A = this chain, B = another copy of it.
Amino acid sequence: MPSLEAYRRALDYSYAPGLFPCMEALTHRPDLVRRVLLHSKAEQSAATDRLLSLCQANGIRLETADRALARLSGKENVFAAAVFAKEQAALSPASNHLVLHETSDSGNLGTMLRTALGFGYTDIAVIRPAADPFDPRVIRASMGAIFSLRLTEYGGFDAYREAFVQHALYPFMLQGSATLDKACQSARFPHALIFGNEGSGLPERFAALGQAVRIPHGDAIDSLNLAIAAGIGMYAFSSIQL
């Protein structure tokens, strides 16, 4: 078996660091998991026992790999990780989509993936240039949500749009002509909620592509944090579907 490399975008595999994300991989997408790494100092617990039995049930190799795990550890110690095959999964044409346009921060991207899963947005388009959704930092911030989502990266918004011409588009913009509340009242399905870059937002032209939405807030701040805005948008749109 080839030795494990430090993660980089060009690799066809990545790492799900941490016990919880690792379990998510084994539970939802064991087909993608190539092997599981465990630290020699990982304590035996109910969680590691479950990890072991999931590996056995799926014929997945479990190995001690302190050095690879040390490389994955940031501030926190990582005692387990799944090595998994990266997969672009086609979005469902019937589902609502979350479109993340040029998200640059890994933590934001991971948090939004997790929130998306919570609010039933299981189909995600990442429009490049953007943070790498398979980066271990994203996997960790998403707490393994990515293993329950369909996600495709696109080279630009037009490539996404050509693939899904039927979706009603809701770009979130500071100058959106409809408040979130109003937009939800007349929401169409299936739709795509579109969020721009942390610093620059969405390009002006997006206002003409669909119903631009603004989240009303006081002028004491310039804008909401991206992951917060996306959370509020998904919450509001998913509420009306209930």
* A contact set with B: CB distance below 8 Å: 107, 111, 114-115, 117-120, 143, 145, 148, 181, 215-218, 220-221, 224-225, 227-229, 231-232, 235-236, 238-239, 242
Across chains A and B, which 5 residue pairs bring their CB atoms closest together, nearest first?
A: A228-B231, A118-B217, A118-B221, A232-B235, A117-B220
25 inter-chain pairs at a CB distance below 8 angstroms, sorted by A residue, are A111-B225, A111-B228, A114-B221, A115-B228, A117-B218, A117-B221, A118-B220, A118-B221, A119-B217, A120-B218, A143-B221, A145-B220, A145-B221, A181-B239, A215-B235, A216-B239, A216-B242, A225-B227, A225-B231, A227-B227, A229-B231, A231-B232, A232-B232, A235-B235, A235-B236
* Chain B residue at minimum C-beta to C-beta distance from A112: B228
With A115-B224, A235-B235 given, name 13 new contacts (CB 8 A).
Answer: A107-B107, A111-B225, A115-B225, A115-B228, A117-B220, A117-B221, A118-B218, A118-B221, A216-B239, A217-B238, A225-B231, A231-B231, A232-B232
Number of copies: 2
List residues of chain B with CB within 8 A of the CB of A181.
Answer: 239
Nearest Cβ on chain B to A242's Cβ, whole angstroms: 7
Nearest Cβ on chain B to A155's Cβ, whole angstroms: 28
CA–CA, A36 and B235, complex, Å: 41
List residues of chain B with CB within 8 A of the CB of A221.
Answer: 114, 117-118, 143, 145
Nearest Cβ on chain B to A68's Cβ, whole angstroms: 23
